[in-house]
Amino acid sequence: MKAFPQYSKRHFEILDGAWDFCFLGESVDLDSVNLKKAAYNELMPVPGVFDATPKYPGMRGTALYRCKVAAAPNSRMKLRLGGIGLWSRIYWDGNEVGTIDLPYSGVEIDFLSGKGKEHELVILIDNRLDFKRCPLFSQYYDFYGFGGIYRTVELHQLPECNINRARVRPLDIKTGLVSIDIELSGKIPARFAFNLAFDGGKEEGFCETVKDGHASIKLKVPKFKLWSPEKPNLHTVTISTIDDGITERFGIREVTAEKGQIKVNGKPQKLLGYCRHESHMEFGPVQPLPLLFEDLQYLKDLGCNFVRGTHYPQDQRFLDLCDQLGFMVWEESMGWNNSPEHFADKGFFDAQVRQTQLLVRNSFNHPSVIIWGFLNEGNSETRSCEKMYRTLFKTIRGEDSSRLVTYASNRAERDLFFEMSDIISLNTYPGWYAKDREKARPLDEIVPCFDNFIRGMDKRGLKDKPFIISEIGAGAIYGWHDRFRVHWSEEYQADYLEIAANYAVRNPRVTGISIWHFADARTYTSSYALGRPRTINDKGTLDEFRRPKMAYDIVKRAFRKK
């Protein structure tokens, strides 16, 4: 499955497959790596992560992935990587052409092919934890940072002037009017001549002024149909020149927040769903296509219409499927419980801005994405962190003012920045991380926690902002049953989620819920794991192999009752 955009004219190659592999070790000086001395005695899959394989389980270090490719001499090239972890350096014929310090982000690297027709592409991957070199991921994050190439690798041969993207923004859902921003690179003309067609129909010719590498146009989509969760209608736009062409898929819909509600095309939506990690015990963050379908089928069966992608940019194929199936999506950039010291660090600050900007640009055309998010459980109770929050809100809204923006807070009433947000989003686990630790089953803490929080927010003057329970959950070890129905049993999780899910469904002040979380996922492999049995976050309603727990039918009953 090739994710959008599609390219109709340029020559490109999907490089997924078996690559030559060389593990350099756990204590390599990156400035002393000698590619000529590397011994490629193994093969590794791309996409794939070496530290989930039987030979290198949990190992941190530096590795080289190599493949041979063909390209015309002295051509403009673009390497598109859907996501890597945790840090990467790219070599073309032995020369460095780029680095990547943004785990999970879709990144493009442009370079010239040089002489000859046969070339060597080497991708150095380093999954060692180094805050200065890769500030976005830290050891204490409650999900595992794998080493490898997470998603598809594409190599494009570019014409003299190429079309990078065409981002489509709906302007009027009554008339089908959209604006199309065409991003160009290479030898960019003052005026850009191109043909345009909607939904594979008749082409029309246009010639538009180019400013800062962008040409824009406003048009009405013929015979348009609105995208909604109930009727996920989609359209395509193809923009082509003599030697390049791109097809983007999009949906026409309007997302608003009014009087405590989230509306799509003016219709209030109750968002019912899960937080979902891209994680599997055998594949790590690599998502085989059958796994994407399996997860989405389970979510549909549960009665979900909403997915929060946690805690990093999601696979574009997954978002394509959400577009088609009518899921509403919260797409967020990477962050996890970051401290004021992180926010004060220039490298961390700059990386947050760059990855968040990329997030919006890469996922802009997905109608399923109705919410942008960032900085999960950041230190939003500390005034010194305000600059980071203000900057990320400004960054997102500068790229896209058509969607809602939020961040998942676990600071509750102490949070200082809710006023900046379109949605109040709260992560909290009353009755799991209980106030009364002597009580065997403190389930009576759940409802008062949310009632008190809502009253406090309304008193604070935030009554018109929608409220989402962005995380709530309880751990359960698959297959462990206990007649006392205590913590870690499937019984306790089922009882817990029955209260939480029904509260969200029945309370009109709750706009949505994303239960933590869909399926069990690998987390810490250090002493942090003392609070995570099996080094797994066991709060999934399904286990790590997608086997439903008792809570599955409980949540399904609550969501489908709505």
With a cut of 70, say whether residue 134 has pLDDT above it: yes
**Based on the domain organization, do 277 and 357 belong to the same domain?**
yes
Q: Band of the pLDDT at 562, cuts 50, 70, 90?
A: low
Average pLDDT, the chain: 97
**Based on the domain organization, do 327 and 465 belong to the same domain?**
yes
With a cut of 90, say whether residue 561 has pLDDT above it: no
**Based on the domain organization, do 148 and 166 belong to the same domain?**
no
Q: Band of the pLDDT at 245, cuts 50, 70, 90?
A: very high
Domain-terminating residue out of 253, 272, 302: 253
For 418, the token pair is: 């809710």
Q: What is the pLDDT of residue 332?
A: 98
Domain-terminating residue out of 158, 183, 215: 158
Share of residues in the chain with pLDDT > 70 (%): 100
**Based on the domain organization, do 222 and 125 belong to the same domain?**
no
**Based on the domain organization, do 197 and 49 belong to the same domain?**
no
Q: Into how many domains does the chain fold? A: 3
**Based on the domain organization, do 315 and 416 belong to the same domain?**
yes
Q: What is the pLDDT of residue 525?
A: 86
**Based on the domain organization, do 409 and 328 belong to the same domain?**
yes
Full residue range of the structural domain in which residue 477 is found? 256-561
Calculate mean pLDDT across residues 275-297: 97
Q: What is the pLDDT of residues 304-361, one digit of tens each?
A: 999 999 999 999 999 999 999 999 999 999 999 999 999 999 999 999 999 999 999 9
Calculate mean pLDDT across residues 167-171: 98
From the centroid of its chain, how far is CA 1? 18
Whether residue 85 is contained in a domain is answered as yes
Q: What is the pLDDT of residues 534-554, one digit of tens each?
A: 999 999 999 999 999 999 999
Q: What is the pLDDT of residue 480?
A: 97
With a cut of 70, say whether residue 63 has pLDDT above it: yes
Domain containing 348 — which CATH number? 3.20.20.80
Q: What share of the chain is helix, strand, coil (3-state, %, to 5)?
A: 25, 35, 40
Domain containing 242 — which CATH number? 2.60.40.10
**Based on the domain organization, do 202 and 267 belong to the same domain?**
no
Share of residues in the chain with pLDDT > 90 (%): 96
Q: What is the pLDDT of residues 389-408, one digit of tens each?
A: 999 999 999 999 999 999 99
**Based on the domain organization, do 245 and 342 belong to the same domain?**
no
* Span of 272-286, 294-308, 445-459, 518-532 with lowest mean pLDDT: 518-532
Whether residue 474 is contained in a domain is answered as yes
Calculate mean pLDDT across residues 7-27: 95
Q: What is the pLDDT of residue 531?
A: 86
Q: Comparing 31 with 373, which gets the higher pLDDT?
A: 373
Largest CA distance in the chain: 74
Whether residue 262 is contained in a domain is answered as yes
* Residue 413 to residue 400: CA distance in whole angstroms: 29
Q: What is the pLDDT of residue 526?
A: 84
Q: Say if residue 486 is exposed, middle or buried (CB neighbours under 10 Å; 0-12, 13-18, 19+).
A: exposed
**Based on the domain organization, do 431 and 309 belong to the same domain?**
yes
Domain-terminating residue out of 126, 158, 190: 158
Whether residue 1 is contained in a domain is answered as no
Between the CA of residue 183 and those of 105, 211, 538, what are the distances in Å? 19, 10, 43
Q: Band of the pLDDT at 560, cuts 50, 70, 90?
A: very high
Q: Band of the pLDDT at 410, cuts 50, 70, 90?
A: very high
- In order, the DSSP letters of 298-357 are HHHHTT--EEEE-SSPPPHHHHHHHHHHT-EEEEE---BS--HHHHH-HHHHHHHHHHHH
- Cα dihedral 181, 182, 188, 193 sign: negative
Q: What is the pLDDT of residues 215-235, one digit of tens each?
A: 999 999 999 999 999 999 999
**Based on the domain organization, do 348 and 366 belong to the same domain?**
yes
**Based on the domain organization, do 274 and 333 belong to the same domain?**
yes
